[in-house]
Amino acid sequence: MEAPSFLSEQDFTADLSDHTKNILGLQLPTDPRWVDLASISLQDLLTDHAYCEQKAATTCIALIQHYNQKTELVYALSPIVTEEWGHFRLVLNELKRRNLTLGMQRKDVYVNKLLAFQKQGGHPDDRFLDKLLTMALIEARSCERFKRLSEGLQDAYFRQFYRRFMESEAGHYTLFIELAEQYIDKNKVKARWKEWLQYEAEVMQQLEVRGDRIH
């Protein structure tokens, strides 16, 4: 799937470090310590990953239910529900393969901070746009995290395991941006996306670096 037209190569790379060039426009790379911490917390990491995939599926279902009159959205997100639930099952199978169990779901500080940035009042289109951009940003950061795992883990099997997820999340990110552009003026989408990227970088700076979670 092509990236949205407004996200040119120059937009991706301007003023970004080498670590973040060409990675979804994110303005702050993951702390390099994160992969090392994740490698010693595999059960916790996989547990958190499983719940992230589960929540992605249920959020898409909620969007379909709430915006059922938006036909393009309904048909675009329906296969994503299936794919995200399939990812949940893949992670469960990986836990089983390693003789590990699914742990307790934890509070997702990263996602909660993003939700706090969503517009709560004003025009319904503004709230709709923020919901789509929130999902796009979560998918973008997940993709970046999966890329770090696919490159930095010592376990070759596990590197390939996360390579598959990285490729999938990149496609999801572009889908949510493209859906926003179908229903909202492209210039407005671009301007709000830049605000989201700046805010997300600030969130990342504030969060504790922990290896037991995807975000």
Q: 168-215 pLDDT, tens per residue?
A: 877 788 899 999 999 999 999 999 999 999 999 999 999 999 999 999
Nearest of 16, 46, 20 to residue 32 by alpha carbon: 20
pLDDT-derived band of residue 125, with 50, 70 and 90 as boundaries?
very high
* Domains held by the chain: number: 1
Q: Distance (Å, rounded) from C-alpha 123 to C-alpha 43? A: 43
pLDDT of 24: 64
pLDDT tops 80 at residue 144? yes
Is 148 a member of any domain? yes
pLDDT of 172: 85
Is 117 a member of any domain? yes
pTM of the prediction? 0.87
Domain that holds residue 155: 33-206
pLDDT of 15: 35
pLDDT of 123: 93
State the CATH number of the domain containing residue 83. 1.20.1260.10
Is 28 a member of any domain? no
Is 177 a member of any domain? yes
pLDDT of 179: 94
Residue recorded with tokens 């303005």: 27
Interval 57-62 mean pLDDT: 98
Is 42 a member of any domain? yes
Residues 46, 74 contacting (CB under 8 angstroms): no
Q: What is the pLDDT of residues 34-57, one digit of tens each?
A: 999 999 989 999 999 999 999 999
Is 68 a member of any domain? yes
Interval 123-147 mean pLDDT: 95
Torsion angle, alpha carbons of 182, 139, 167, 184, to 10: 10
Q: Which residues contact 125 (CB under 8 A, 6 or more apart)?
A: 183, 184
Interval 9-23 mean pLDDT: 37
Is 175 a member of any domain? yes
